[in-house]
Amino acid sequence: MFLLTSMPVGGAETLLVSLVGRLSRARFAPELCCLKELGPLGQVLACQIPAHCGLLAHKYDGRVLPRLVQLLRRRRIDILITVGAGDKMFWGRLAARLAGVPVVLCAVHSTGWPDRIGRLNRLLTGLTDGFIAVADAHGRYLVECEGFPAPKVHVIRNGVDTQGFARRSDKASYRAALGLPPRAPVVGIVAALRPEKNHALFLRGAGRVLRRIPTAQFVVVGDGPQRTELARLAAQLGIDRSVHFLGTRTDIPDLLAALDVFAITSDAEANPVSILEAMSAGLPVVATQVGSVSESVGDGKTGYLVPAGAEEPLAARLIELLAAPRRARAWAPPAARGSGGTDPLTKWLRDTKP
């Protein structure tokens, strides 16, 4: 059973849908449990496997523990995998111990929480058979910063289905569908609108780019608590006519086909799936050098790395790539190869299966 709080459209959630879709039903009988609502991708999985939700009414709802224990026992779960930190990591491990679940794993896919994993979650380390990190540097972070025992930390690098993101030739039609000018330089970012993703840096960098390249367009894909604030910032910067907030989308391959350059401006990351998808689409990437990003993006080879929070270097690299489209196109094949090979998802699935 995979245990999450919910399943909005996001990198870890997308990977989970891919994993479940390819798991051998002869060997595994996967189930999903979301402590709160299923969410969009949870609803997708509910059409494929047994799915449970609504166990946690509010943040301090202690009744979630007996509910989860009862569910684990009733479904005779052999392996519980919590996905992410926070409530599911805490309640899941407690419930698994009380329910007698033989194997308990925690898949951790982020860094940069205000209090890291959290004191209570660290206290439950002894109840955990293994922690799954998504990159080498992420694995070291879990050992050195979170204090997890090194023998329990296993690195399974994120992967995507590169064939599904293969570079497409008819860029104009994809732009037309988004209402973008056919010949304008276009930069895009795909990330939830949360503080750690630092979309404000993306917008301020966009403002600098527009002073040099007034025809440039900027696409923001994702939704979250900062949507109104970021739209207001774009207006304050005077760039709102050049910035397109598209909200949550599930047609990411089509959106990437409309871009010239992909950007990620996060203050904290592990191994972003969005970068792997963009590189699979043959896009050069400009990203902040945080977490394990440098394990995916080759600086000066498949994209550029800039310091976190650095507005001027970000804008300079974007301008450089937009002003030299031949270089961006030349980086397309290396970028696709750099995303992990012909089918890194297959390798990821192979590494994930016990």
Mean pLDDT (whole number) for 29-50: 97
Asked whether the predicted pLDDT for residue 347 surpasses 60, the reply is no
User: How far is residue 141's CA from residue 181's CA, in Å, rounded to a whole number?
Assistant: 43
Degrees, nearest 5: CA angle 172-178-180: 60
CB of 107 closer than 8 Å to CB of 115: no
**pLDDT band, very low/low/confident/very high, at 342 (cuts 50, 70, 90):** very low
The pLDDT value given to residue 324: 86
DSSP line for 74-117: HHT-SEEEEESSTHHHHHHHHHHHHHT-SEEEEE------EEEE
Question: In CATH, which superfamily holds the domain spanning 162-338?
Answer: Glycogen Phosphorylase B; (3.40.50.2000)
**pLDDT band, very low/low/confident/very high, at 345 (cuts 50, 70, 90):** very low
User: How far is residue 344's CA from residue 134's CA, in Å, rounded to a whole number?
Assistant: 13
The pLDDT value given to residue 326: 78
Q: Which residues contact 350 (CB under 8 A, 6 or more apart)?
A: none
CA atoms within 13 A on the CB side of 68: 34
> Cβ–Cβ contacts within 10 Å for residue 24, how many?
8
The pLDDT value given to residue 107: 93
The pLDDT value given to residue 344: 46
Mean pLDDT (whole number) for 15-23: 88
Asked whether the predicted pLDDT for residue 337 surpasses 70, the reply is no
Better-predicted residue by pLDDT, 60 or 116: 60
Q: Which residues contact 353 (CB under 8 A, 6 or more apart)?
A: 23, 27, 28
Percent with pLDDT over 90 in the chain: 72
266-307 pLDDT, tens digit each: 999 989 999 999 998 989 999 999 999 999 999 998 899 999
Asked whether the predicted pLDDT for residue 34 surpasses 50, the reply is yes
Cα 293 to Cα 26, 157, 166, 187, 332: the distances in Å are 36, 12, 21, 19, 18
CB of 268 closer than 8 Å to CB of 150: no
User: How far is residue 54's CA from residue 42's CA, in Å, rounded to a whole number?
Assistant: 12
Cα 151 to Cα 123, 139, 300: the distances in Å are 17, 11, 35
Asked whether the predicted pLDDT for residue 121 surpasses 60, the reply is yes
E strand spans, the chain = 2-4, 32-34, 51-53, 79-83, 103-107, 114-117, 130-133, 153-155, 186-190, 217-221, 243-247, 261-264, 285-288, 303-306
User: How far is residue 304's CA from residue 205's CA, in Å, rounded to a whole number?
Assistant: 14
166-222 pLDDT, tens digit each: 766 788 999 999 999 999 999 999 999 999 999 999 999 999 999 999 999 999 999
**Domain range annotation of the chain:** 2-156, 162-338
Mean pLDDT (whole number) for 28-34: 96
73-118 pLDDT, tens digit each: 999 999 999 999 889 999 999 999 999 999 999 999 877 655 556 7
DSSP line for 303-324: EEEE-TT-HHHHHHHHHHHHH-
The pLDDT value given to residue 353: 53
pTM of this structure? 0.87
Q: What angle in degrees, to the nearest 10, is found between the helix axes of 64-75 and 87-99?
A: 50
3-state secondary structure of 270: coil
Question: In CATH, which superfamily holds the domain spanning 2-156?
Answer: Glycogen Phosphorylase B; (3.40.50.2000)
Residue pointed to by tokens 């016990």: 354
The pLDDT value given to residue 63: 96
Mean confidence (pLDDT) of the chain: 90
What is the pairing mode between strands 186-190 and 217-221? parallel
CB of 236 closer than 8 Å to CB of 263: no
